[in-house]
């Protein structure tokens, strides 16, 4: 009961933060003692690097491992730098092989090599296997510690095998079934094993397997695990031989990271890949400045378009008044379409080959939006600035929205088709493109209607 | 093996689509037969309403239930309208109570009431209990079909109880432990039960529980399940009495829907809540037009600001050239900050009370970004348009970026503080606000520097 009651952590971490600020180690040790590992992880993920190292070092040994395992890999990497070598080696040997690979990716190559060499031979071999798969593939994120059974085994025998592996297997709730050549032929759940007649064979209760290929993008495999509501997905090589297993908790973390990335990219910044408060200000600046510069350089296109029409502008200064409104609406329309399609792509609702289907849909949506906004704008601007300005603004809204929605819908698919991240090539680029094209449309319509 | 090999569904669904286009029912039945339920779900989620009803009706009875259970609730709702009453009643009675409630929320009230009345009494009672919890709370999404054990039970007894409930419980892998008053006192995993001495008590192997309160926001409870890598989280009432269980697969679906919503809102549209191709064009228009209008009306503020400075503009038309570039950069800077903070809020890395901490960080980030972009812009524009215009543009960049990042970082926290969705009140509003304020800053700086 004590632990359940302290779940609201806001009151408890104040004592920890105070002790940290005062660098009062005895008080810190006392303040940490009643907290659960999850609470300590929550506190660590909001501290800066130095305070994090201090807090971590006062943790009791048993808890330190649990806390370490649950930390974001970026923070594990930070901590390793500040701990003594033997402490790190012990931690490292006790980690799950898939978590270990995630940590290795965070560390400088020399540190990573030294840690790998310190592992017991079997662990080192497993880890090296995982490290052999390409970055971003599910091979990197799966666990090689699975329990598999054979179709001809009796249920009793299969349950015995499970019992032997209760302590070290990644999961015992979903068991891959393989033949003599280690080829995956199905899966069986522990629940079904427990429910079946002990003398029946595994074959009689096994189900067809949903699996992932080891070189597949981790996000795709994780999405499959989620979509089919599975607790685990076996991972196979090109000959359908079982090489590992992806469990749902790892799938969740993969999807969470993928979504953070998508959101960052949609807003035109590089993903942080670490909790907000643990990133230094310089890190935040770095993650944003490059995209901001690229986009600003792209936006100089608008300056050039406007220069072409400078004469028109000085003749009718009123035209300048609507520039932010028009390009803002164009950008919003484009972003709406792009975000919808990017998300549908991520969820697998839309695929690359749907390009023309999406284009036609978004064209119609854009038309409809343009007609609604355009007629409203026509009425209002006609009343305030006269019918010719009203006509220009109304017509611009119609063509702008149609163009923006179509471009916004198509861009993520084109990006995916050339194997780029749809989120990168969508919103920020669309805004820039739509801004420049929109101005062109605006001034061409204005010249025609106003006869200048 | 047949099923594993047909996992790449692109080849198989062509035959289905062709048969659907021709309305050739025998061919359709034949084309569907080799497909797994997951593949059929994939196809159904890309069809329009009429074709979906046709395809669903040719499914063999056993598969129809599995397919139905795995469909998005919005599509279940569509199908119910086209099926015969007794077929619906059968389906409905066989669903899990939590899935049933999701479907009920999709249906018109009269249909929902009729379906509820057709349920067997026990099922009706369970469903009514869930329906009693507020919309959006975890009470609505949990399963009331849990297996709980008592701390003083022997492991043997606990395992017997699990065995009895293998067929109907939502999960048997995580078991809540409750005392005589149904108060939650811990959890025990099936793995630990299997590993322990059968004569020991449950108390000796149980762990402290991570739980959710029944009225809590579903997203928060799901995030907790994900963060702590749990297979299930017990749900309790205000007296910590066990009322249900949230399993990780349901947590995943809750998080997926929450992320789709966030992404839609960040781009200024209402969430679709159904797969892209199943939404009619009018639905897409509806999900976007209101926000587009609201934002366009907000953007008329920029027209008003520019009107105030119309005299300045006609004196120096060159100033108009930079308007899109400047407000575009301001909008991008604001969006970057807002998206980062919105995501950090969703992940629990940042909380409402961090307002000033975030404000100060984003102020510094904005300053740094403004100085970098501003000095570049100063150099380039000075060369092209002379030093006074260069000074105006450079200074505007610095103040604009600082303002935009600060506002962008603070807005999501203010939104959360007043219990609004941070994603709604962030990006689109920030763009509009930053556009208008940015123009004001720009022209004030221009007037001062150019002395007009």
Could you report the per-residue pLDDT of B46-75, keeping only the tens digit for each? 888 888 888 888 888 778 888 888 888 888
Across the interface, whether the CB atoms of B299 and A329 are under 8 A apart is answered yes
At residue B426, the pLDDT reads 65
Highest mean pLDDT among A6-20, A94-108, B15-29, B236-250: B236-250
Highest mean pLDDT among A161-165, A400-404, B304-308: A400-404
At residue B11, the pLDDT reads 56
Ranges A9-23, B227-241, B313-327, B403-417: which has the least confidence: A9-23
Mean pLDDT on B320-347: 90
Residue of B nearest to A427 (CA): B267
CB-based contact A343:B260 (threshold 8 Å): yes
At residue A12, the pLDDT reads 64
Q: Report CA A2 to chain centroid distance, whole Å.
A: 35
Give pLDDT tens digits for A369-415: 999 999 999 999 999 999 999 999 999 999 999 999 999 999 999 98
Annotate B107-132 with DSSP letters as a single string: S-HHHHHHHHHTS-HHHHHHHHHHHT
At residue B155, the pLDDT reads 95
B89 vs B155 pLDDT, higher one: B155
Residue of B nearest to A409 (CA): B276
B338 vs B429 pLDDT, higher one: B338
Across the interface, whether the CB atoms of B266 and A361 are under 8 A apart is answered no
Give pLDDT tens digits for B8-36: 445 567 888 888 888 888 888 888 888 88
The three-state DSSP-derived secondary structure of chain A is: CHHHHCCCCHHHHHHHHHHHHCCCHHHHHHHHCCCCHHHHHHHHCCCCHHHHHHHHHCCCHHHHHHHHHHCCHHHHHHHHHHCCHHHHHHHHHHCCHHHHHHHHHHCCHHHHHHHHHCCCHHHHHHHHHHHCCCCCEHHHCCECCCCCECCCCEHHHHHHHHHHCCCCCCCCCEEEEECCCCEEEEEEEHHHHHHCCCCCEHHHCCECCCCEECCCEHHHHHHHHHHCCCCEEEEECCCCEEEEEEEHHHHHHHHHHHHHHHHHHHCCCCCCCCCHHHCCHHHHHHHHHHHHHHHHHHHHHHHHHHHHCHHHHHHCCHHHHCHHHHHHHHHHHHHHHHHHHHHHHHHCCCCHHHHHHHHHHHHHHHHHHHHHHHHHHHHHHHHHHCHHHHHHHHHHHHHHHHHHHHHHHHHHHHHHHCCCCCCCCCHHHHHHHHHHHHHHHHHHHHHHHHCC
Q: Is A60 an interface residue toward B (CB < 8 Å)?
A: no
Write the burial class of residue B399 (CB in 10 Å: 0-12 exposed, 13-18 middle, 19+ buried).
buried
Q: Which residues of A touch B372 (CB under 8 A)?
A: 285, 289, 293
Round the CA-based radius of gyration of chain B to a whole number and report it: 29
Q: Is B75 an interface residue toward A (CB < 8 Å)?
A: no
At residue B72, the pLDDT reads 84
At residue B364, the pLDDT reads 96
Alpha carbons A188 and A439: distance in angstroms, whole number = 61
Q: Is A70 an interface residue toward B (CB < 8 Å)?
A: yes
Q: Is A95 an interface residue toward B (CB < 8 Å)?
A: no
At A360, give phi and psi (nearest 5°). Answer: -65, -40
Q: Hey, how many other C-beta atoms are within 10 angstroms of the C-beta on B132?
A: 10
Residue of A nearest to B224 (CA): A38
Across the interface, whether the CB atoms of A343 and B263 are under 8 A apart is answered yes
Q: Is B406 an interface residue toward A (CB < 8 Å)?
A: no
Q: Is B396 an interface residue toward A (CB < 8 Å)?
A: no
At residue A426, the pLDDT reads 65
Across the interface, whether the CB atoms of A276 and B184 are under 8 A apart is answered no
Q: Is B284 an interface residue toward A (CB < 8 Å)?
A: yes
At residue A375, the pLDDT reads 96
Ranges A174-188, B145-159, B331-345: which has the least confidence: B331-345
At residue A54, the pLDDT reads 86
Give B2's pLDDT tier (boundaries 50, 70, 90): very low
Across the interface, whether the CB atoms of A167 and B195 are under 8 A apart is answered yes
A395 vs B124 pLDDT, higher one: A395
Mean pLDDT on B123-145: 86
Across the interface, whether the CB atoms of B340 and A272 are under 8 A apart is answered yes
Q: How far is A25 from chain B (nearest CA, A)?
A: 25
pLDDT of B238 above 60:
yes
Buried b (16+ CB within 10 A) or exposed e, B154-193: bbeebbebbeeebeebbbbbbbbbbbeeebbbbbbbbbbb
| Mean pLDDT of the residues in chain A | 87
Alpha carbons A90 and B419: distance in angstroms, whole number = 45
Mutate to test the interface with A, among B66, B325, B383, B406 (most CBs of A within 10 A): B325
Across the interface, whether the CB atoms of A252 and B226 are under 8 A apart is answered yes
Q: Which residues of A touch B210 (CB under 8 A)?
A: 7, 38
Mean pLDDT on B232-247: 93
At residue A413, the pLDDT reads 92
Percent pLDDT > 70 in chain A is: 97
Which residue from B348, B438, B318, B361 is spatially nearest to A256, judged by alpha carbons? B348
Give pLDDT tens digits for A29-70: 888 888 888 888 888 888 888 888 888 888 887 788 888 888
Across the interface, whether the CB atoms of A349 and B45 are under 8 A apart is answered yes
Alpha carbons B142 and B146: distance in angstroms, whole number = 10
At residue B12, the pLDDT reads 64
At residue A95, the pLDDT reads 83
Mutate to test the interface with B, among A349, A390, A409, A424 (most CBs of B within 10 A): A349
Annotate B128-158 with DSSP letters as a single string: HHHHTSPTTBGGGTSBS----B-TTSBHHHH
Q: Which residues pair with A183 in a beta bridge?
A: A241
Mutate to test the interface with B, among A250, A295, A303 (most CBs of B within 10 A): A303
Give A8's pLDDT tier (boundaries 50, 70, 90): very low
Highest mean pLDDT among A92-101, A297-306, B90-99: A297-306
Q: How far is A431 from chain B (nearest CA, A)?
A: 8
Give pLDDT tens digits for B356-415: 999 999 999 999 999 999 999 999 999 999 999 999 999 999 999 999 999 999 999 998
Residue of A nearest to B372 (CA): A289
At residue B5, the pLDDT reads 38
Across the interface, whether the CB atoms of A263 and B267 are under 8 A apart is answered no
pLDDT of A11 above 70:
no
Mean pLDDT on A162-189: 92
pLDDT of A1 above 50:
no
Q: Pick A343's closest partner by Cβ from B172, B260, B333.
A: B260
Q: Which residues of B touch A292 (CB under 8 A)?
A: 329, 332-333, 336, 369, 373
A225 vs B80 pLDDT, higher one: A225
Across the interface, whether the CB atoms of B275 and A344 are under 8 A apart is answered yes
Q: Is A368 an interface residue toward B (CB < 8 Å)?
A: yes
Q: Is A279 an interface residue toward B (CB < 8 Å)?
A: no
A318 vs B97 pLDDT, higher one: A318
Mutate to test the interface with A, among B303, B375, B423 (most CBs of A within 10 A): B303
Q: Looking at this predicted complex, what is its ipTM?
A: 0.79
pLDDT of A194 above 80:
yes
Across the interface, whether the CB atoms of B328 and A369 are under 8 A apart is answered no
At residue A432, the pLDDT reads 83
Lookup: tokens for B387: 């030093």
Selected residues 376-395 of chain A with any CB under 8 Å from a CB in chain B: 376-377
A442 vs A104 pLDDT, higher one: A442
Mean pLDDT on A125-144: 86
Q: What is the DSSP letter of B208?
A: P
Across the interface, whether the CB atoms of A317 and B313 are under 8 A apart is answered yes
CB-based contact B359:B374 (threshold 8 Å): no
Give pLDDT tens digits for A406-431: 999 999 999 888 887 777 666 777 88
Q: Which residues of B touch A331 (CB under 8 A)?
A: 328, 331, 431
At residue B4, the pLDDT reads 39
Q: Is A290 an interface residue toward B (CB < 8 Å)?
A: no
pLDDT of A7 above 70:
no
DSSP-derived 3-state class of residue B388: helix
Mean pLDDT on B348-358: 90
Q: Which residues of B touch A335 (CB under 8 A)?
A: 267-268
Give A326's pLDDT tier (boundaries 50, 70, 90): very high
A431 vs B142 pLDDT, higher one: B142
Selected residues 28-57 of chain B with any CB under 8 Å from a CB in chain A: 36, 38, 42, 45-46
Q: Is B256 an interface residue toward A (CB < 8 Å)?
A: yes
At residue B1, the pLDDT reads 35
DSSP-derived 3-state class of residue B187: strand
At residue A2, the pLDDT reads 36
Mean pLDDT on A208-227: 91
Which structural domains are found in chain A, ordered by start?
2-135 (1.25.60.10), 155-265 (3.10.580.10), 280-450 (1.10.357.20)
Q: How far is A82 from chain B (nearest CA, A)?
A: 23
CB-based contact A267:A41 (threshold 8 Å): no
At residue A229, the pLDDT reads 85
Q: Which residues of A touch B259 (CB under 8 A)?
A: 259
């Amino acid at each position: 009961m004590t632990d359940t009651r302290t779940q609201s952590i806001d009151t408890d971490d104040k004592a920890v933060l105070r002790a940290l600020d005062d660098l009062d180690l005895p008080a810190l040790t006392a303040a940490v003692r009643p907290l659960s590992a999850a609470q300590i992880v929550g506190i660590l993920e909001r501290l800066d690097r130095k305070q994090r190292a201090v807090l971590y070092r006062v943790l009791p040994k048993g808890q330190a491992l649990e806390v370490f395992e649950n930390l974001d890999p970026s923070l594990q990497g930070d901590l390793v730098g500040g701990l003594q070598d033997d402490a790190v080696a012990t931690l490292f040997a006790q980690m799950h092989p898939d978590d270990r690979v995630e940590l290795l990716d965070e560390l400088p190559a020399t540190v990573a090599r030294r840690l790998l060499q310190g592992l017991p031979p079997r662990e080192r071999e497993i880890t090296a296997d995982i490290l052999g798969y390409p970055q971003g593939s599910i091979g990197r994120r799966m666990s090689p510690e699975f329990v598999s059974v054979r179709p001809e085994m009796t249920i009793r025998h299969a349950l015995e095998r499970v019992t032997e592996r209760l302590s070290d297997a990644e999961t015992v709730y979903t068991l891959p079934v393989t033949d003599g050549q280690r080829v995956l032929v199905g899966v069986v759940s522990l629940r079904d094993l427990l429910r079946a007649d002990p003398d029946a064979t595994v074959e009689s209760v096994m189900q067809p397997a949903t699996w992932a290929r080891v070189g597949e993008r981790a996000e795709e495999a994780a999405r499959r695990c989620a979509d089919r509501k599975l607790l685990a997905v076996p991972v196979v090589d090109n000959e359908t031989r079982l090489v590992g297993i992806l469990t749902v908790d790892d799938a969740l973390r993969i999807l969470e990271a993928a979504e953070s990335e998508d959101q960052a990219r949609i807003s035109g910044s590089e993903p942080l890949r670490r909790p907000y408060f643990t990133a230094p200000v310089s890190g935040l600046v770095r993650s944003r400045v490059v995209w901001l510069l690229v986009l600003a350089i792209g936006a100089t296109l608008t300056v050039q378009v406007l220069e072409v029409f400078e004469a028109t502008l000085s003749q009718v200064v009123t035209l300048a008044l609507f520039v932010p409104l028009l390009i803002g609406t164009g950008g919003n329309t484009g972003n709406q379409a792009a975000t919808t399609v990017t998300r549908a792509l991520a969820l697998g609702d839309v695929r690359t080959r749907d390009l023309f289907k999406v284009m036609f849909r978004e064209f119609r949506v854009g038309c409809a939006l343009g007609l609604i906004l355009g007629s409203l704008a026509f009425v209002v601007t006609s009343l305030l600035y006269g019918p010719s300005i009203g006509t220009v603004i109304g017509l611009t809204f119609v063509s702008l929205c149609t163009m923006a929605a179509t471009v916004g819908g198509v861009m993520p698919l084109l990006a995916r088709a050339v194997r780029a991240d749809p989120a990168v090539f969508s919103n920020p680029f669309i805004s820039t493109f739509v801004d420049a094209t929109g101005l062109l449309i605006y001034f061409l319509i204005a010249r025609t209607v106003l006869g200048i």
